Chain A
C-alpha cells in the first residue's frame, strides 16, 4: 500500500523497514533467464539458459571465467554482470600478483557483496540489477555462492536463479543431499536436468544452454557444446526407452544397452 510513496529513492526506507529499490533490483534478477549451480566435494557446475534477443542475434553470454579457479553465472541485467565480472577478474589478478596464490572464493564474494552494498546506501547510485552464482575452488574445497543485488550472499549446495528457477530448485531440493558424493559426470547431468526443468516443455538442446565446470585439477571452463549434446541425447534415449519399456516390458535388454553408452566427458 505504501510502495509508491517510498520507492523512488534507494536511500528511503518504507515504514515497514524495507528498501523498495533494492527489492526491485532483486525482481530484475527474477526476470532474467535461468541459471543453476550445483556443488560436490570436488567439482562445481554452472548451467544457464541462453536467451537470444531475436533469431537474428547471438546469444547473451551469461557465464564468465573469473580466474582458473573461479567462474560466475549471472541472471538479470547482463551489462551489470559484465562490469562486475571485470571487477572480479581484477580482484583475482591483483591478489595473485601480491600473494602469488589464488584468491580464496569466500574473500572474493565478500568484496563483491560489499561493492553491491555501497549501491544500496548512496543516493546517486542504483543497485546492480544482477544476481551472480559464484562457483569456485580453493584450499578449503569446492564452493557455490549466490550474490544478490542487496549485498547479501549465501553459500549453497545447489541453487537456481532467474525466471522459472523455482522448478529447478524443486528438482534439486529432492536430490541435493547426495550431491557431495556425485561424480563429475553425474553433476553435469543433474545440472542439465535442472535447466531442463526451467524450460517447461521447450525442447532442450545444447544450443540454448551453456554448461561450465570447475574442479580439482580442472580449471574453470565452458564445456564444449558437442559434449553437452551427447549428454542430452543419452539422457533422452534413456527416457524414450524407459517410456517404451512401460508399454512393452519385454524390451528390457535394449534399455540396458542404451544405458551402457559411455559418458566420456
Chain B
C-alpha cells in the first residue's frame, strides 16, 4: 500500500503478451487488478486502442497507465488534425518512447507492449521498459507473468539465429488462429503459477479487416 510519502507507485500486477504475424498482430492481457495480496477487480482492461492499426497493452501501475493512455490519445488527435491521417504503428512507437523518456526522472511505472500493423501491413510488436527504451520484435511479454511466458514463446517462435533473421525483422509464420491458440495456452500456464495473473484474458487481433476482440476465462484463484 502507498503509505510512505516517498513511494508513490503501486504494482497492480498482470501480464501482457503480443505476437506479430505476417499480416496480423495478436495482443493480449489478463484482466485482474491486484494490490498486494488482494484483488481489486477481476474485470479491468489493460489494453487501449491508440490508432486504427495500433494497440497498446501495459502492466504495472494502472494509474500511470491511464494517464499515459490519455496523453497518447490527445497527442494522436493533434497529429490527426495536423496531418489528416491516423498515426502509423511505428510512428506511435516512437511517440510512446519519447513520452516515456520525457518523464525519465519521475517515470510512468508501466511496462508496455505496442502491437499493430506497420505501413506495409505486416504485423509489428514493440516492447518497452519504463523509461522508453524500445525495440521492434516478433513477440514479447511484460508483467508479473512474463518470466513464465517468454521462455515458452522463445521455444515456439524464436528464429534459429539472430544472424539469419534479426529480432526486428522476425514475424512468426504461424496462422492467426494458431497464434491466438498459443496466446491462450501461455496465459493458462502463467495463471497456474503467477498469483497476479488470472480471471480473464482479453485478446485483441489486428489484421487488414480491422480489430477484433475476444475474452477467455482463466482460473480465478
Whether B78 and A93, one on each chain, are in contact in the complex, defined by CB atoms closer than 8 angstroms, is yes
How far is it, in angstroms, between the C-alpha of A90 and the C-alpha of B77 when the chains are bound?
A: 10
Interface residues of B in 137-152 (CB under 8 A from A): none
**A-chain residues with CB within 8 Å of residue B74 when the two chains form the complex:** 93-94, 96-97
Interface of A (DSSP majority class): helix
How far is it, in angstroms, between the C-alpha of A97 and the C-alpha of B76 when the chains are bound?
A: 13
Whether B78 and A89, one on each chain, are in contact in the complex, defined by CB atoms closer than 8 angstroms, is yes
Interface residues of B in 32-75 (CB under 8 A from A): 70, 74
Q: A76-94 CB contact bits vs B (8 Å, 1 = yes)?
A: 0000000000100110011
A82 → chain B, closest Cβ, in Å? Answer: 11
B63 → chain A, closest Cβ, in Å? Answer: 15
How far is it, in angstroms, between the C-alpha of A89 and the C-alpha of B81 when the chains are bound?
A: 8
A259 → chain B, closest Cβ, in Å? Answer: 38
Question: A65 at interface (Cβ–Cβ under 8 A)?
Answer: yes
Interface of B (DSSP majority class): helix
Interface residues of A in 88-107 (CB under 8 A from B): 89-90, 93-94, 96-97
How far is it, in angstroms, between the C-alpha of A65 and the C-alpha of B70 when the chains are bound?
A: 21
Chain B interface extent, by class:
under 10
Specify which of A86, A89, A90, A97 is in contact with B70 (CB 8 Å cutoff): A97
Q: Which residue of B lies closest to A86 (CB)?
A: B81
**B-chain residues with CB within 8 Å of residue A86 when the two chains form the complex:** 81
Interface size on A, residues (CB 8 A): 8
Interface residues of A in 209-264 (CB under 8 A from B): none
Q: Which residue of A lies closest to B71 (CB)?
A: A97
**A-chain residues with CB within 8 Å of residue B70 when the two chains form the complex:** 97
How far is it, in angstroms, between the C-alpha of A86 and the C-alpha of B79 when the chains are bound?
A: 12
- Residue among B70, B74, B77, B78 with the most chain A CB within 10 A? B77
Q: Which residue of B lies closest to A98 (CB)?
A: B70
How far is it, in angstroms, between the C-alpha of A42 and the C-alpha of B221 when the chains are bound?
A: 51
**A-chain residues with CB within 8 Å of residue B78 when the two chains form the complex:** 89-90, 93
Q: Which residue of B lies closest to A65 (CB)?
A: B81
A86 → chain B, closest Cβ, in Å? Answer: 8
B218 → chain A, closest Cβ, in Å? Answer: 30
**B-chain residues with CB within 8 Å of residue A93 when the two chains form the complex:** 74, 77-78
Q: Which residue of A lies closest to B70 (CB)?
A: A97
**A-chain residues with CB within 8 Å of residue B77 when the two chains form the complex:** 89, 93
How far is it, in angstroms, between the C-alpha of A43 and the C-alpha of B17 when the chains are bound?
A: 44
Q: Which residue of A lies closest to B73 (CB)?
A: A97
**B-chain residues with CB within 8 Å of residue A90 when the two chains form the complex:** 78
How far is it, in angstroms, between the C-alpha of A90 and the C-alpha of B78 when the chains are bound?
A: 8
B143 → chain A, closest Cβ, in Å? Answer: 26
**B-chain residues with CB within 8 Å of residue A96 when the two chains form the complex:** 74
Q: B73-89 CB contact bits vs A (8 Å, 1 = yes)?
A: 01001100100000000
**B-chain residues with CB within 8 Å of residue A97 when the two chains form the complex:** 70, 74
**B-chain residues with CB within 8 Å of residue A65 when the two chains form the complex:** 81
A91 → chain B, closest Cβ, in Å? Answer: 12
How far is it, in angstroms, between the C-alpha of A97 and the C-alpha of B72 when the chains are bound?
A: 11
A27 → chain B, closest Cβ, in Å? Answer: 30
Q: Which residue of A lies closest to B80 (CB)?
A: A65
How far is it, in angstroms, between the C-alpha of A96 and the C-alpha of B74 when the chains are bound?
A: 9
How far is it, in angstroms, between the C-alpha of A89 and the C-alpha of B74 when the chains are bound?
A: 11
How far is it, in angstroms, between the C-alpha of A97 and the C-alpha of B78 when the chains are bound?
A: 13
- Residue among A65, A94, A97 with the most chain B CB within 10 A? A97
A108 → chain B, closest Cβ, in Å? Answer: 15
How far is it, in angstroms, between the C-alpha of A94 and the C-alpha of B74 when the chains are bound?
A: 8
How far is it, in angstroms, between the C-alpha of A90 and the C-alpha of B75 when the chains are bound?
A: 10
How far is it, in angstroms, between the C-alpha of A90 and the C-alpha of B74 when the chains are bound?
A: 9
Q: A141-175 CB contact bits vs B (8 Å, 1 = yes)?
A: 00000000000000000000000000000000000
How far is it, in angstroms, between the C-alpha of A10 and the C-alpha of B74 when the chains are bound?
A: 37
B78 → chain A, closest Cβ, in Å? Answer: 7
13 sample A-B contacts, Cβ–Cβ < 8 Å, listed by A number: A65-B81, A86-B81, A89-B77, A89-B78, A89-B81, A90-B78, A93-B74, A93-B77, A93-B78, A94-B74, A96-B74, A97-B70, A97-B74
9 shortest A-B CB distances, which residue pairs? A93-B74, A97-B74, A89-B81, A93-B77, A97-B70, A93-B78, A89-B78, A65-B81, A96-B74
| Residues in B lying within 8 Å of A, measured CB to CB | 70, 74, 77-78, 81
| Residues in A lying within 8 Å of B, measured CB to CB | 65, 86, 89-90, 93-94, 96-97
| Given A89-B81, A93-B74, 10 other A-B residues pairs in contact with their CB atoms under 8 A | A65-B81, A86-B81, A89-B77, A89-B78, A90-B78, A93-B77, A93-B78, A94-B74, A96-B74, A97-B70
